[in-house]
Chains A and B, each alone.
Chain A
Amino acid sequence: RKEVEQDPGPFNVPEGATVAFNCTYSNSASQSFFWYRQDCRKEPKLLMSVYSSGNEDGRFTAQLNRASQYISLLIRDSKLSDSATYLCVVNNVRNTGFQKLVFGTGTRLLVSP
């Protein structure tokens, strides 16, 4: 089982639509959670961190469910500029005490006019 799993998509939605992505993770000891955005042939960039209480940033809302070990991202009022790949990221602490960030393969979103 992959440490972080996402539906690769693509999700094709019209402008103005609401779209949601889910991500599941396997390590219950994971401590930090993030959503990153990656545009074609570019580097990933942080979209938002995900907190246990849920958090919102403009049109974007992130939720964390520790019991079920999944993270969600909701995008409201989709814009053409939202077209990108969205990466789910979790932080795993190894038995050495070191930690590593594990990236999902990403969910591709295409917003059409």
Chain B
Amino acid sequence: NAGVTQTPKFQVLKTGQSMTLQCAQDMNHEYMSWYRQDPGMGLRLIHYSVGAGITDQGEVPNGYNVSRSTTEDFPLRLLSAAPSQTSVYFCASSRTGGGIVRETQYFGPGTRLLVL
């Protein structure tokens, strides 16, 4: 198993550009999520999904879109990049038991994004 994979590893964007951060997992996990991590702020949840076709907003959803058409993939779209979106982005997945995340969240290696 590859676990959770993310592409790209690094990206530089200009303000106003759009892009999609890719995330895929091969563990058949229902729960997937996107976080951003900034110095002193910790990991903040952007969007998450409890299964194909079901997504919900996290703490900081503005400026980002997600969709979950398959169990494996959970892409994050930046609609119009802003310097405030400069951050490290992590995708994560886990199984759920009884609808509750009780088990390990597996994280991808992260995408470092710089918006100029």
B33 at the interface (CB under 8 A from A): yes
Flag whether B45 is at the interface (Cβ < 8 A): yes
Chain B residues with CB under 8 A of A104 = 42
The number of residues on chain A lying at the interface, defined by a beta carbon within 8 Å of a beta carbon of chain B, is 27
Q: How far is the CA of A104 from the CA of B99 in the complex (A)?
A: 22
Q: Is A80 an interface residue (CB 8 A)?
A: no
A8 CA to B40 CA, complexed, in Å: 8
Alpha-carbon separation in the docked complex, A59 to B42 (Å): 26
Could you pull out 8 A-B pairs where Cβ atoms are within 8 angstroms? A8-B40, A43-B109, A91-B102, A93-B100, A98-B50, A100-B58, A103-B35, A105-B41
Interface size classification for chain B: 20 to 34
Assess A91 versus B100: contact at CB under 8 Å? Given A101-B105, A103-B42.
yes
A36 to B33 Cα, complex, angstroms: 16
**Does A66 interact with chain B (Cβ within 8 Å)?**
no
CB contact under 8 A between A32 and B101, given known A43-B90, A44-B90, A100-B58: yes
Contact of A103 with B43 in the complex, beta carbons under 8 Å: yes
Is the CB–CB distance between B90 and A32 below 8 Å? no
CA distance A2 to B99 in the complex (A): 25
User: A93 to chain B: closest CB distance in Å?
Assistant: 7
Query: Is B74 at the interface (CB under 8 A from chain A)?
Result: no
Residues A105 and B101 in contact in the complex (CB < 8 Å), given A43-B90, A98-B56: no
**Contact indicator per residue, chain B 39-53, by CB within 8 Å of chain A (1) or not (0):** 011111100101000
**In the docked arrangement, what's the CA distance between A30 and B41, Å?**
21
